[in-house]
Amino acid sequence: MTDRVDLNAVLDSFDEPWSPRVVAELNGQLVKVAKCDGEFPWHTHEGEDELFQVLRGRMRIELRGRDIELAPGQMFVVPRGVEHRPVAEPGTAVLLFEPASTQQYGDESRHD
């Protein structure tokens, strides 16, 4: 890719929550943006870490035993193998970094 990416323009181009759009790729990692609203199912990624950076709104990453609150400009890396559930207020948008092999719902056997 040789052009800059306008993250706001990409976010304005779709409405579906929890449907990430790939905006770049580097070193086997995908850079995605997503609109988020409400609860995403509990899941884990056994082999990959997952980075969430809040661009707009607020998000809580629920872990078994503690919650991580994120505001715009804040980020959190969920370590591989850690069960988690993102919960977002309406209007939240995030930037995600994850390996290209990452399944959106993680290990299906771990859902509540």
- Domain positions in the chain are 7-101
User: What is the CATH code for 7-101?
Assistant: 2.60.120.10
CB 85 within 8 A of CB 105: no
Confidence category of residue 3, pLDDT binned at 50, 70, 90: confident
N residues, the chain: 112
How many C-beta atoms surround the C-beta of residue 77 within 10 A? 14
How many C-beta atoms surround the C-beta of residue 44 within 10 A? 21
Position 109 scores a pLDDT of 42
What is the pLDDT of the chain when averaged over all its residues? 90
Position 9 scores a pLDDT of 97
| pTM beyond 0.75 | yes
Give the tens place of pLDDT for each residue, 51-79. 999 999 999 999 999 999 999 999 999 99
